[in-house]
Copies of this chain bind each other. A is one copy, B any other.
Amino acid sequence: MTTQHRATPNAARRKEASRRAILTAAFDLLQEIGYAKLSIEGIAARAGVGKQTIYRWWPSKGAVIFDAFLMLSEGSEGEPPALPDTGDLEADLTAVLRATVAELNDPQYDQPMRALATEIAHDPELAAAYVERLDGPLKEAKQRRLRSAQRAGQLAEDLNLDVAVEMIWGPLLNRWLQRSGPLTAEYADDVVTTALNGLRPRPSGR
């Protein structure tokens, strides 16, 4: 290992402080003025750095937003995400989906998450990074929970877990992003029940 290209401890600390100031400024401005008005100039002014500093570290506005989200999720570093597993799949999914609804409706996250979703929609490279670093680990956690239920005989043996995950979370994300209807706890409950039971009549009690 070589240290010759490493910055001095002080320089590294200053760089990290600037990086955090920029990402925090981007996140705060998204909440305050919204995505359409967010500019690199505005982020630089708020963070107290030069515009060129941002351009040197990030190729686009979307890349800054993405890293702001990564910084937010750094708190849980080390531990991979996990869904609750009480043995009662319907109760666990309902709790998780209600929490998702609450987060999507939280004004603090609404604008930043819309900005990220929108940047992903228009930027295949960012979408790939999102799948790998943020959505991927979360999707694996969801599939782990479903696999555990499948082993317990609570889910169909031949279920495609990839499709199952999108069947549970897709309607929620879609309704939120497209504003196609009210996003409530009741809606989350209905989605869980309908996904588990399916659209066809059930011969048994449930």
Contacts and interface: CB of A to CB of B under 8 A. Distances in A.
A124 B114 CA distance: 12
Contacts of A36: 122
Contact of A135 (B34, B180, B200, B203): B180
A96 to B, nearest CB: 15
21 contacts: A35-B122, A114-B122, A118-B121, A118-B122, A121-B178, A154-B200, A155-B201, A156-B201, A159-B194, A163-B194, A164-B194, A166-B174, A166-B175, A170-B172, A170-B174, A173-B174, A174-B174, A177-B177, A195-B195, A195-B199, A203-B204
A199 B156 contact: yes
Contacts of A194: 159-160, 163-164, 167, 198
Total copies of the chain: 2
B166 A171 contact: yes
Interface residues of A, number: 55
A22 B199 CA distance: 44
Contacts of A131: 179-180
Interface of A: 34-36, 114, 117-118, 120-122, 124, 127-128, 130-131, 135, 139, 146, 153-157, 159-160, 162-164, 166-167, 169-175, 177-181, 187, 190-191, 194-204
A103 to B, nearest CB: 16
Contact of A166 (B121, B155, B180): B180
B187 A163 contact: yes
